[in-house]
Amino acid sequence: MNAFVVDIFEFCRLGERREGRIAIADLGRLSKECAGSSSGMLDWALQGGIGMFGRPQLTLSVSASVQLACQRCLAPFVFDIRSESLLILARDEAEADEIEGKLEDEDEVDVIVGSETQDILQLIEDDALLALPLSPKHEVCPGKTALDEVGENKPSPFAALKAIKR
């Protein structure tokens, strides 16, 4: 049996904690989003408990440095995933809807349908994927000319040089 499969409701009821480190290359969906070789490691910690409305809940932390391809210049850059999520567990979709209704606009909290055979690795990978930017970009692309930066950044010495040349 997969060591990452647990009865998540028991996990919460008993207030269990697990943590570990896994190769990004072993997370198929995440490594697909990464540029180049996904050689890094991902650290995670999962804490079960009973929280809001007396519901089972999970606190999940994920951290990793991944390489993403910049959508502007296509060159890879390093993006740090630092995520901490609170997940409230429901028994089924109907219950999940009911809890979501009570939460109103608490964006910090997610409701998921838990399982007695929950693959926690999947939760971890989902969380890492959600932490990725929708359109990854360098703040300033390497090789971008100084002229392009005028107006969006502090004046660069190169811009001054260009001005002199003109």
Binding site for Zn ion (CB under 5 A): 70, 72-73, 138, 141
Structure tokens at 146: 């100084």
Least Å distance between CB 144 and Zn ion? 8
Cα–Cα distances in angstroms (integers) from residue 162 to residues 7, 146, 148, 153, in the given order:
65, 9, 12, 16
Cα–Cα distances in angstroms (integers) from residue 17 to residues 13, 74, 132, 163, in the given order:
11, 39, 25, 60
Neighbour-count burial for 89-112, b at 16+ CB within 10 Å, e otherwise: bbeeeebbeebeeebeeeeeebbb
* C-alpha–C-alpha distance, residues 70 and 136, integer Å: 5
Least Å distance between CB 44 and Zn ion? 29
**Closer residue to Zn ion in complex, CB, 35/109:** 35
Least Å distance between CB 145 and Zn ion? 13
**Closer residue to Zn ion in complex, CB, 93/139:** 139
Least Å distance between CB 48 and Zn ion? 40
**Closer residue to Zn ion in complex, CB, 1/74:** 74
**Closer residue to Zn ion in complex, CB, 30/70:** 70
